[in-house]
Amino acid sequence: MDNTLSFGGGLILPKLPDKHLADTSIIHVQPPTVSLAVSEAISVEEGDRVLVGTNIGISRNMAVYSSVSGWVREIKNGRVIIENDTKDECEKPLERPADSPGELIEYMRRISLIGMGGAGFPTAKKYESSTNVKFLLVNACECEPHLSCDRALIANLPRKVIRGARALAQAAGSAAVFICVKHRDLLEILKNSVQDENIRIVMVSKKFPQGCEKQLIASVLRREVPRFRLPKDCGVIVSNCATAAAFAESLDTGLPPVRRIVTIAGEVGKCANILAPCGTSVRYLLDICEGAKEGTVLLSGGAMTGHTADPDKSYVTLATAGYIAVLPPKIKESSCIHCGACARACPSRIVPYKIDAAERSGAEDELEKLCADACISCGCCSYVCPAKRELTIHTSKARRVVMSRKEENK
């Protein structure tokens, strides 16, 4: 065993063939059009000239900025479609905030920064009212087996990640920073780039789901977040390394983050990490990668925790880590044989086969007793199940049942 930091449960997933993985080189693209979701207060009209960083409206209570320069071609179904003139002309930069937590968090809100690990939680919300934060974990573990966008980011721009980590730490009130990686080469790259004593680079295990917030905290800090609490409540904030890099870039340029690295991998012609503006059609990215193979399904996020996506209706957002083409497994559910593999694999130490049975029979009281709320939907249970039961689907459902019952009882 290596002496890297790890957590209980989880899996070592078999290594994928190289042809299903993208390397760390980054391809820059200029799509002909981008399509951005804007639900309200659309501030542009068809034919308007927009620049990179022009505010075009609001979506989910956050300002939406144009990711390219060009003309607004069409506004329909809550989406603004912008024709790209590929000149990348920029708006007037925003004023750089002072290095105080309040101003930095206000700046995060202005630039609509969201968590870029996948969930897309507003970063400002995560950092505000976070008093007494002692530790900031910068998550570069990227445990979904196909993804390598964070790896590409660190390999190419280690200093940006470190600057971003420092800025995030200031926003959190001078917390100690741990940048968590799982590859030795990244560890070396970051160690060579860091001069700050307050920033430590740590190596964590290659187990899945190492990149999950709770598992990362357990691995690095040897602590667990109590049930029904947030990491923030106990002095820890976890942010993705892409979020850190985007924040650093935004502070440098004074422009909101409008691009990210997206991994296209799996059963495609040529896997790649692509730096794409938000709103780029996934179909366009797939075409760059020579298309998905026959019979595959396209997944957003990854093969363990992702969901199916239609390439013609999906567009890159800041929270999009990647799109993966996989051949759907030909499996049929059979009866549980009570082998306990799911419970051993579960990083939350719950018993998926029992929760699965209780959920299917509608025993809601039982679900609470079995701590179904601890489920993180990582997919380990379904992965190992020899009876090929859809344990993750039912355990996640059970989690929502317990959470909503708890809300009602409040």
* Using rule CB under 8 A, residue 275 touches another protein: no
CA angle 290, 294, 300 (to 5 degrees): 70
* Token pair for 243: 């979020």
Taking the least distance from each CB to another protein, the nearer of 62 and 387 is 387
Residues of span 18-77 touching another protein by CB under 8 A:
none
* Using rule CB under 8 A, residue 306 touches another protein: yes
**Least distance from C-beta 92 to another protein, angstroms?**
39
* Using rule CB under 8 A, residue 234 touches another protein: yes
Taking the least distance from each CB to another protein, the nearer of 32 and 328 is 328
Residues of span 366-385 touching another protein by CB under 8 A:
371, 374, 377, 379, 382-385
* Using rule CB under 8 A, residue 214 touches another protein: yes
Residue of the chain from 326, 358, 398, 402 that contacts another protein (CB under 8 A): 326
* Using rule CB under 8 A, residue 361 touches another protein: no
Residue of the chain from 3, 195, 335, 361 that contacts another protein (CB under 8 A): 335
Residues of span 117-156 touching another protein by CB under 8 A:
145
Q: By CB under 8 A, which span of 25-33, 66-74, 110-118, 339-347 interacts with another protein? A: 339-347
* Using rule CB under 8 A, residue 340 touches another protein: yes
Residue of the chain from 120, 235, 254, 291 that contacts another protein (CB under 8 A): 235
Taking the least distance from each CB to another protein, the nearer of 151 and 232 is 232
* Using rule CB under 8 A, residue 403 touches another protein: no
Taking the least distance from each CB to another protein, the nearer of 57 and 379 is 379
**Least distance from C-beta 336 to another protein, angstroms?**
5
Residue of the chain from 26, 42, 58, 387 that contacts another protein (CB under 8 A): 387
Which chain residues interact with another protein by CB under 8 A? 13, 145, 214, 218, 222-229, 234-235, 297-299, 303-310, 313, 326, 328-329, 331, 334-340, 343-344, 347-351, 371, 374, 377, 379, 382-388, 390, 392-393, 396
